[in-house]
Amino acid sequence: MRAAAAIVLIVLVFTASFSLKKAMRPRPSSTEPGAPVSCARLVSMSPGITETLFALGLGGQVVGVTRYCLYPPEAAERTRVGGFLDPNYEVLLALHPDLVLLTPFHRELWPELDRLGLRYEIIRQDTVEDIRESFLKMGALCGREEPAQALVSALDARLAGLRRRAAGRPRLRVLMTTGREMHAGTLSETYAVSSGSFLSDLLQIAGGDNCVTGEIAEYPALSAEGILQLNPDVIIEFGQEDSDAADADALRAWQALPGLEAVRRSRVHYLGGTKYTIPGPRILETLDALDRCLDADGEAPMP
């Protein structure tokens, strides 16, 4: 798999596809409405869910996670049940979970979990509102209503503060990307973040307008010509690697399109690390990073 496509896959692993989400209309859980649910032994099939469980003080009840669940560090001490879409059912059964927590993207796992008699609950974390509601839902499921409300209150306060801050500056057209391919020294294919995702929601709150919209795909592939037609004021690239070398590589890649306003005005930003693309309590870090990108001076043209 090409590097850019691999990055997009990782982002999709952490966030469900918007077009898929609209089509699937998932059932909320495998349990009867109102039936008591034990949370003594929890398995999380998503990094965002794992981070939320630990933030709610439920880390001690988490017995299994996927290999993508790397935060907080304590999550690495839990049994690995496989990947996001390819769990090891033998390991899963051996953990004797009371509840398996899934996203809507896991719909192909439901029949097997039903066959094995494992209880599960579907947790949406696609948009900012979904993430907010996921705090409350998991808190209610596992008797952690007070910590859940504290998470929601902290999120609401930060969102309100950023909205007030954003109201005082001009809105900028922003291209957010999650991967790119180079050919003959120029960008040949770039994966963009379109509307319908929590990243786009956060951008809007921070005061930017996503210049890639539509419900067909959350991460469409754009050609260099398509990017030149969009001509964004700001470019924000999300990448896996958090290093000065990765930052410099991203800036060099975008300089292959010197006609872009964002490149000419030095408004190309690289945000390295998977933490920025995981839906959960750390979206506040993503929001702050987007705010810094939009607040950067960037008036001096690139040499």
Convert the pLDDT of each residue in 259-279 to its tens digit: 999 999 999 999 999 999 999
Q: Are 262 and 33 in contact (CB under 8 A)?
A: no
Structure tokens, 286 = 């993503």
Domain endpoint, select from 137, 161, 185? 161
Angle at 266 between CA 260 and CA 297, to 5 degrees: 130
Strand order of the β-sheet with 99-102 is: 79-80, 62-65, 42-44, 99-102, 120-122
Convert the pLDDT of each residue in 24-71 to its tens digit: 344 445 555 455 578 999 999 999 999 999 999 999 999 999 999 999
Q: Looking at residue 123, which CATH number applies to its domain?
A: 3.40.50.1980
In this structure, are 80 and 130 located in the same domain?
yes
pLDDT at 189 over 70: yes
The mean pLDDT of 101-105, rounded to a whole number, is 94
Lowest mean pLDDT among 19-23, 190-194, 275-279: 19-23
pLDDT of residue 61: 98
pLDDT of residue 29: 53
197 Cβ neighbours under 8 A, 6+ residues apart: 15, 18, 126, 127, 218
Calculated CA dihedral for residues 203, 208, 213, 219, nearest 10 degrees: -40
In this structure, are 131 and 183 located in the same domain?
no
- DSSP 3-state of 35: coil
The mean pLDDT of 117-140, rounded to a whole number, is 96
DSSP state of 126: S
Give the bridge partners for 101, in sequence order.
44, 121
Higher pLDDT, 124 or 11: 124
The answer to the question of residue 147 being in a domain is: yes
In this structure, are 134 and 202 located in the same domain?
no
> Nearest CA to 277 among 43, 102, 68, 105?
68
Gap between the Cα atoms of 101 and 43, Å rounded:
6
In this structure, are 220 and 148 located in the same domain?
no
Residues 6-24: b if buried by 16+ CB within 10 A, e if exposed = ebbebbbbbbbbbeebeee
The answer to the question of residue 98 being in a domain is: yes
Task: Give the pTM.
Answer: 0.86
Average pLDDT over the chain, rounded to whole? Answer: 86
Domain that holds residue 111: 27-161
How does residue 182 score in pLDDT terms, banded at 50, 70 and 90?
Answer: low
